[in-house]
C-alpha cells in the first residue's frame, strides 16, 4: 500500500492555479499581502482543503494555520509548509507551492488510505514576505519563540494598522497557543527564486542553509528651502544625503564581494516632494544579506558609519530603525543527507546550494531539524508577476518531498 502512494501532478497543478485566483492580477501574477481580504480567501481555501482531507486544523494567536493528518501513533508530526502571502506583485509559486505540495502529499497518502507512524502536518505561516509587516517570517518567528506574541501583534503596517487588528479583521486571530507546538522535523519545498538550477538545467536543489538578513529603515531630516536661492553650501538636503547612502549601499556590496547583497527597495517618503523645494525628509529601507555573519556585520558597520558621517557633514538628522535582523542558518545534515539520498534513489540530478531568500524553514530550524528542497524557476525571476516554474519540475519536487516526508514519518 505504501509503495502505491504517488503525487497526483494534475491535482497539484490545479490547486496552484486555484489558489492563484485569490488576489490574482489581470496581467498574471498575484497580489496577496499578509492579512488582507485576498489572504483571508486563500487561507479559507487551504483550511477547507485540510478539513476535506480529515486533517485537524489549528489556528494560533498569530494566525498560523497547521493542518495535521493523524499517524498510527500520537507523536509530534513531520511538518511541511511555507506561506501563502505574496509581495504586492508576485507570482503563483513563491510559498504557495510549498503549502500546496504539502497538501498534495497528504492527499496522496489519503488516496491509498495510508497512515504513517507519525502524523504529517502542513504549516501555513503568517506574513512571511514582510512587505506589509516587518520583520519577514513573522508567524514562524513567533512560532519558534524568537519574538513574543505581544510584540508581533503590536507591529503596524504603513497605515498604522496592527497585526492584531488585521488578524481580527480577517477572522484569523486563532485561539491556539503560538509556541510549544511540538514538531518532529520540518521540510519546506520552494522554487529557488534564483538562476542557478535553471541555468544548470538541474531539477533539484538541496538547500544547505539560508543567508543572514538585515533590514534597516533610515529617516533623514533636513530643511526645506528654495531650490533657486539657497546656495549649494548652505543646504541641509535630505534628498542628497539619502541618494549618497543608497548608492553607497550598492557600492559597498560590490566592494565587499563575498556574496554581499544590498537593495534599496522602498522610499516611503520623499518630502515635501516639490520640484523647486529642497527635500527635508526622506524615509527609505536598505536590505543587506550575506551567508557569512561577519561580512554582514562589516557591511552594516560600514554603511551606518558612512550614513552618520555624511548626514552630520550636511547638518541632516539621521535615524535608523532595524526592521529585521536574522543570522545565517545552516540546515541539519540529517535532513540534507536524506534529501540527497532520496533524490539519488529517484535518479534525479541535484545540486547543493544555499538560499538567498528568507524562508520559514530558517525559523523552524530553531525548534527541530529542518531542511529545504528547491526546484528551478524560469530565469530565476521571482517577486515579480513573471515568476514561472515548469509543471514537470514542480511535480518532481513534490514527489521528492513525499518520499522524504514518508521516510521521516515512518522512521523507528
User: Nearest distance from residue 94's CB to ligand GLV, in Å?
Assistant: 7
Nearest-CA neighbor of 37 among 52, 23, 54, 49?
23
CB nearer to ligand GLV: give 71 or 397: 397
**Are 272 and 221 in contact, with CB atoms under 8 Å apart?**
no
The one-character DSSP state at 354 is E
Q: Which does 342 bind (CB under 5 to 8 A by kind): Mn ion, ligand GLV, none?
A: none
Within residues 44-63, the interface with ligand GLV by CB under 6 A covers: none
Closest contact distance (angstroms) between CB of 405 and ligand GLV is 23
Q: Which residues form the interface with Mn ion (CB under 5 A)?
A: 94-95
Query: Rounded to the nearest whole angstrom, what is the least distance from the CB of residue 63 to ligand GLV in the complex?
Result: 18
**What does 166-219 look like in DSSP terms, one character per residue?**
HHHHHT---SB-SS----SEEEEEEE--SSHHHHHT-SEEEEEEE-EEEEEEEE
CB of 360 vs ligand GLV, minimal distance in Å? 10
Look at residue 267 and give its three-state secondary structure. strand
Residue number, 47 or 88, with CB nearest to Mn ion: 88
Distance between start and end Cα atoms, the chain = 19
Binder to ligand GLV among 335, 357, 364, 385 (CB under 6 A)? Answer: 357
DSSP H or E stretch at residue 268: strand 267-271
Minimum distance between the CB of residue 136 and ligand GLV, rounded to whole angstroms?
Answer: 5
* Nearest CB to Mn ion, comparing residues 94 and 157: 94
- Nearest alpha carbon to residue 174 among 355, 315, 40: 40
- Is 129 near ligand GLV (CB under 6 A)? yes
- Candidates 31, 28, 56; CA nearest to 41 is 31
State yes or no: residue 192 binds ligand GLV (CB under 6 A). Answer: no
Of 193 and 396, CB closest to ligand GLV: 193
Q: If contact means CB under 5 to 8 A according to the sort of partner, which of Mn ion, ligand GLV, none does residue 358 touch?
A: ligand GLV
Write out the residues near ligand GLV by the rule CB under 6 A.
Answer: 129, 136, 357-358
Amino acid at each position: 500500500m505504501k509503495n502505491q502512494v504517488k503525487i497526483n501532478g494534475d491535482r497539484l497543478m490545479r490547486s496552484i492555479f486555484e489558489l492563484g485566483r485569490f488576489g490574482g492580477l489581470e496581467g498574471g501574477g498575484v497580489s496577496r499581502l499578509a492579512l488582507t481580504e485576498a489572504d483571508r480567501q486563500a487561507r479559507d481555501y487551504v483550511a477547507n482543503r485540510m478539513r476535506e482531507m480529515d486533517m485537524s486544523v489549528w489556528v494560533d494567536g498569530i494566525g498560523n494555520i497547521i493542518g495535521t493528518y493523524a499517524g498510527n501513533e500520537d507523536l509530534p508530526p513531520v511538518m511541511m509548509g511555507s506561506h501563502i502571502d505574496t509581495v504586492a506583485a508576485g507570482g503563483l509559486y513563491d510559498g504557495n507551492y510549498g503549502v500546496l505540495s504539502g497538501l498534495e502529499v497528504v492527499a496522496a497518502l489519503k488516496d491509498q488510505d495510508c497512515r504513517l507512524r507519525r502524523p504529517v502536518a502542513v504549516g501555513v505561516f503568517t506574513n512571511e514576505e514582510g512587505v506589509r509587516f516587518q520583520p519577514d517570517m513573522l508567524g514562524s518567528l513567533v512560532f519558534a519563540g524568537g519574538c513574543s506574541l505581544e510584540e508581533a501583534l503590536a507591529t503596524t503596517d504603513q497605515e498604522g494598522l496592527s497585526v492584531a487588528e488585521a488578524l481580527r479583521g480577517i477572522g484569523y486571530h486563532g485561539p491556539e497557543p503560538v509556541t510549544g507546538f511540538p514538531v518532529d522535523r520540518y521540510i519546506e519545498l520552494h522554487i529557488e527564486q534564483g538562476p542557478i538550477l535553471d541555468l544548470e538545467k538541474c531539477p533539484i536543489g538541496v538547500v544547505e542553509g539560508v543567508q543572514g538578513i538585515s533590514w534597516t529603515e533610515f529617516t533623514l531630516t533636513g530643511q526645506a528651502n528654495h531650490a533657486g536661492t539657497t546656495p549649494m553650501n548652505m543646504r541641509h538636503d535630505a534628498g542628497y544625503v539619502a541618494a549618497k547612502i543608497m548608492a553607497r549601499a550598492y557600492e559597498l556590496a560590490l566592494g565587499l564581494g563575498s556574496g554581499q547583497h544590498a537593495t534599496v527597495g522602498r522610499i516611503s517618503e520623499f518630502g515635501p516632494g516639490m520640484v523647486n523645494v529642497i527635500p527635508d525628509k526622506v524615509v527609505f529601507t536598505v536590505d543587506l544579506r550575506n551567508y557569512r555573519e561577519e561580512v554582514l556585520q562589516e557591511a552594516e558597520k560600514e554603511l551606518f558609519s558612512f550614513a552618520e558621517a555624511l548626514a552630520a557633514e550636511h547638518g541632516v538628522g539621521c535615524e535608523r530603525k532595524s526592521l529585521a535582523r536574522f543570522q545565517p542558518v545552516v540546515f541539519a545534515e540529517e535532513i540534507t543527507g536524506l534529501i540527497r539520498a532520496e533524490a539519488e534513489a529517484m535518479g534525479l540530478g541535484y545540486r547543493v546550494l544555499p538560499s538567498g531568500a528568507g524562508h520559514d524553514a530558517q525559523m523552524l530550524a530553531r525548534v527541530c531539524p529542518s531542511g529545504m528542497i528547491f526546484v528551478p524557476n524560469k530565469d530565476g525571476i521571482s517577486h515579480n508577476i513573471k515568476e514561472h516554474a515548469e509543471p514537470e519540475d514542480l511535480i518532481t519536487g513534490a514527489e521528492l518531498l513525499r518520499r522524504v516526508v514518508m521516510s521521516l514519518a515512518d522512521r523507528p
